């Protein structure tokens, strides 16, 4: 029987101030790599950036790859509209992320870590570098040969895509590469690389400290542990909340809505819009056998009340994608432009309402043929908005 | 050697002359000059031994690596959905009104440039903007007028 979702439950691990990171680091690296990897695998932690790949497995594959040079990269290129959790982690508990990177390096056999920080977060750089130098000082003390560099992005959403991020680090335009090969085998500088989102790394700290069981016991089947949610839009409580995975969207709205919630965009502009009538059947977690629909999210939860025009929302998203498409492949480059032109033409009455169906077909093509997640995911928001709020697109 | 050439030399010494150094070098020039002129891009190409077209192609990919002359203070106001829902337009109008420029322009005295940008990761404190690296949130027309008058005195 499928496990059902649970009520909304708050948690406090990520921002809990732990002043024993030195102890955790020393203790953890004394364990065998195999032992740590097993613990991560049994916690069932999945990547918190949105894609949801099992973290333990990622570390394991990279550890097993044969290469004298390997890298640990922290993806702090948080650009998904509506997401602002990584900024908070890096400013409030950066040492958790650094500790996790060092443990990972120790396991896979790497000496070098890089934090790719988005250009928009330049103001965090100085404090972060200060923390890093204290951290490196401690690493030297315990004879751990590991250094971390902060690399600044320069304003490009696509660089959050891991292979585009490597291109950017290597001094090129941030254009995604073909996959496979995957970063675990051929990543930064074509060397085996673990690349994890900021939040994912912070969760591994929780696991090192409290054990896999503690983490596994939170959340629901296929969606274990807690997750940070960035809540914005029409809410009396905008902000960042750590919640157990697996709650229903209805419970989420009861807690964070303003009483007049019409729809919630789960997962940012590249995610899905859920209309009111589907709140009850929608759960927040990774794909799995939850009852009803289960939506993954990198944490962005944008709430819209009934005063909002869904046409404007879609228009804003499409403009975002049109600007942020790297332009490398035609379905995405041209597709994003045509979608934007198309919905405007329908709105103005220059095209009949049936034209929306043509545009939906176009998003299907993009989903199938675009090279990376950006072009593929435009279909998510487009279809979920157009199908649920068709009349708002027309009149 | 003109000042740009020596700046680029300095940056190349600091970051190295490998391809991986290109972004930090470009960023270093932008930090000083606020933009990348054709001259500086050619000089960077020379210094790092890269085709100038590669430097240009890379630089123009990133929205923070401006290649038009910019003012001393670059105002980047977020136009993505949360900010736009929370009154970004009124704030933008207040800025335009005060600086007497439109979006994309620079004041004649070369002090301020105004651009719109995508989500800054401050959606819970919308509307938000950056002035150079400085972060400003929960903006209102009044608040932004105050902020700008402070900058005008700088
Ligand atoms: S899908 Fe879009 S962003 Fe991705 S590679 Fe193609 S053009 Fe670039
Ligand atoms: S929408 Fe403006 S900061 Fe995110």
A3-28 core/surface letters (b: 16 or more CB in 10 A; e: else): eebbebeebebbeeebeebeebbeeb
Rounded to the nearest angstrom, the distance between the alpha carbon of A348 and the centre of ligand 1 is 29
Contact B61 A173 (CB under 8 A): yes
In this structure, are B54 and B77 located in the same domain?
Answer: no
The answer to whether residue B8 sits within a structural domain is: yes
The answer to whether residue B93 sits within a structural domain is: yes
In this structure, are B33 and B89 located in the same domain?
Answer: no
Contact B62 A152 (CB under 8 A): no
Q: What would the pLDDT profile of A176-215 be if each residue is shown by its tens digit?
A: 999 999 999 999 999 999 999 999 999 999 999 999 999 9
The answer to whether residue B68 sits within a structural domain is: no
* CA A336 to chain CA centroid, nearest Å: 22
Residue B81's domain is classified under what CATH number? 3.40.30.10
What pLDDT is attached to residue A6? 72
What pLDDT is attached to residue A222? 84
Mean pLDDT of A120-147: 97
In this structure, are B80 and B138 located in the same domain?
Answer: yes
In this structure, are B86 and B42 located in the same domain?
Answer: no
The answer to whether residue B66 sits within a structural domain is: no
Mean pLDDT of A46-75: 95
Banded pLDDT at A2 (limits 50, 70, 90): very low
What pLDDT is attached to residue A52? 87
ipTM of the complex: 0.97
In this structure, are B77 and B45 located in the same domain?
Answer: no
In this structure, are B78 and B143 located in the same domain?
Answer: yes
State how far the Cα of B80 lies from the Cα of A296, in Å rounded to an integer.
22
Beta bridge partners of A151: A116
Q: Which ligand is nearest to the CA of B122?
A: 2
In this structure, are B77 and B148 located in the same domain?
Answer: yes
Asked whether the predicted pLDDT for residue A1 surpasses 60, the reply is: no
In this structure, are B134 and B82 located in the same domain?
Answer: yes
- Of all residues in chain A, the one with the smallest CA distance to B55 is A172
What pLDDT is attached to residue A201? 98
State how far the Cα of A130 lies from the Cα of B75, in Å rounded to an integer.
27
Positions of chain B with pLDDT under 50: none
What pLDDT is attached to residue A291? 52
Closest Cβ opposite residue A171 in set B58, B117, B124: B58
In this structure, are B120 and B78 located in the same domain?
Answer: yes
pTM for the whole thing?
0.96
For A41, counting Cβ atoms within 10 Å of its Cβ (0-12 exposed, 13-18 middle, 19+ buried), the class is: middle
- Mean pLDDT for chain A? 95
The domain total for chain B is: 2
| Domain region containing B11 | 3-59
Confirm if A302 and A326 have CB atoms less than 8 A apart: no
Q: What would the pLDDT profile of A316-340 be if each residue is shown by its tens digit?
A: 999 999 999 999 999 999 999 999 9
Q: What would the pLDDT profile of A282-315 be if each residue is shown by its tens digit?
A: 999 887 554 567 888 889 999 999 999 999 999 9
What pLDDT is attached to residue A289? 52
What pLDDT is attached to residue A183? 97
Which residues does ligand 1 sit against, CB inside 6 Å?
A 158, 176, 325-329, 332-333, 370-372, 374-375
Confirm if A159 and A153 have CB atoms less than 8 A apart: yes
């Amino acid at each position: 029987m499928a496990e059902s979702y649970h009520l909304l439950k708050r948690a406090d691990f990520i921002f809990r101030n732990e002043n024993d990171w030195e102890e955790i680091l020393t203790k953890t690296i004394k364990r065998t790599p195999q032992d740590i990897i097993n613990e991560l695998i049994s916690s069932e932690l999945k990547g918190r950036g949105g894609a949801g790949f099992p973290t333990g497995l990622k570390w394991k594959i990279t550890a097993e790859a044969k290469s004298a040079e390997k890298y640990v990269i922290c993806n702090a290129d948080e650009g998904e509209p509506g997401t602002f959790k990584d900024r908070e982690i890096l400013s409030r508990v950066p040492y958790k992320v650094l500790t996790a990177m060092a443990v990972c390096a120790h396991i896979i056999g790497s000496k070098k870590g890089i934090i790719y920080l988005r250009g928009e977060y330049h103001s965090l750089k100085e404090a972060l570098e200060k923390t890093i130098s204290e951290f490196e000082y401690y690493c030297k003390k315990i004879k751990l040969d590991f250094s971390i560099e902060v690399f600044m992005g320069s304003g490009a959403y696509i660089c959050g895509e891991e292979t585009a991020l490597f291109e950017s680090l290597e001094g090129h335009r941030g254009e995604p590469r073909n996959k496979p090969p995957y970063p675990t085998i051929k990543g930064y500088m074509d060397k085996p690389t673990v690349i994890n989102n900021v939040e994912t790394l912070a969760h591994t700290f929780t696991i090192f400290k409290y054990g896999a069981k503690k983490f596994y016991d939170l959340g629901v089947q296929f969606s274990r542990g807690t997750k940070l949610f960035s809540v914005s839009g029409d809410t009396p409580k905008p902000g960042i909340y750590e919640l157990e995975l697996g709650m229903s969207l209805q419970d989420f709205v009861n807690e964070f809505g303003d009483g007049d919630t019409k729809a919630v965009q789960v997962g940012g502009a590249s995610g899905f819009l859920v209309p009111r009538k589907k709140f009850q059947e929608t759960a927040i977690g990774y794909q799995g056998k939850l009852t009803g629909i289960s939506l993954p999210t990198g944490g962005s939860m944008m709430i819209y009340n009934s005063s909002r025009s869904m046409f404007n929302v879609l228009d804003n998203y499409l403009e975002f994608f049109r600007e942020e498409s790297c332009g490398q492949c035609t379905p995405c480059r041209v597709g994003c432009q045509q979608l934007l032109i198309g919905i405007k033409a329908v709105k103005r009455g220059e095209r009949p309402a049936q034209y929306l169906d043509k545009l939906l077909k176009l998003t299907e093509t993009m989903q199938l043929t675009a090279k990376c997640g950006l072009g593929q995911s435009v279909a998510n928001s487009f279809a979920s908005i157009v199908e649920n709020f068709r009349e708002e697109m027309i009149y | 050697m003109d000042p740009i050439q020596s700046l680029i030399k300095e940056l190349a010494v600091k970051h190295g002359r490998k391809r991986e150094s290109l972004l930090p070098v470009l960023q270093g020039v932008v930090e000083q000059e606020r933009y990348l002129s054709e001259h500086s891009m050619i000089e960077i190409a020379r210094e790092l031994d890269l085709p100038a077209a590669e430097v240009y192609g890379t630089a123009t990919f990133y929205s923070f690596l401006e290649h038009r002359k910019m003012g001393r203070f670059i105002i980047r106001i977020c136009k993505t959905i949360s900010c736009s829902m929370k009154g970004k337009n009124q704030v933008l109008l207040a800025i335009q009104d005060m600086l007497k420029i439109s979006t994309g322009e620079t004041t004649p005295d070369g002090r301020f440039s105004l651009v719109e940008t995508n989500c800054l990761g401050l959606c819970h404190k919308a509307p938000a903007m950056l002035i150079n690296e400085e972060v400003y949130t929960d903006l209102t027309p009044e608040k932004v007028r105050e902020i700008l008058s402070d900058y005008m005195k700088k």
